[in-house]
Amino acid sequence: MKIRLEYSKFIKIEKYASDSIIEVPDKCTVRELLIFLGLPVYLQKAVYTVVNDQPSWNSTVLKENDAVNLHRLLGGG
C-alpha cells in the first residue's frame, strides 16, 4: 500500500526523503511505520504523528493514500 510521508527537518530518515510516496505493508499501524522507517526507539517516543491532518496514535491503522506527517517533539524554555 502507498502512503505520502512528510517529516520535519528535526527527523532524519536515510531511506526516504520528506514528501515521498512510499510503499508500506498492508494494515500497517503508525507504530509499525516508525519501525519500518528505521527510527531509533528514543526517537519513536519523541515523534508526534498526524495522519490526514488528524492527530494519530501508535495503534492507528494506515490506509492507501494516507498522508502521514511526522514531527519531533522538542522541549525548551
Q: How many CA within 13 A on the CB side of residue 12?
A: 2
Cα 47 to chain centroid distance, Å, stands at 8
Residue-level pLDDT at 75? 73
- pTM greater than 0.85: yes
pLDDT tens, residue order, the chain (77 aa): 999 999 998 898 989 999 999 999 999 999 999 999 999 999 999 999 999 999 999 999 999 999 999 999 877 66
The span from the CA of 5 to the CA of 18, in Å, is: 6
Angle at 65 between CA 18 and CA 29, to 5 degrees: 80
Question: What is 2-72's CATH number?
Answer: 3.10.20.30
Residue-level pLDDT at 77? 62
Residue-level pLDDT at 48? 94
Strand, coil or helix: 43: helix
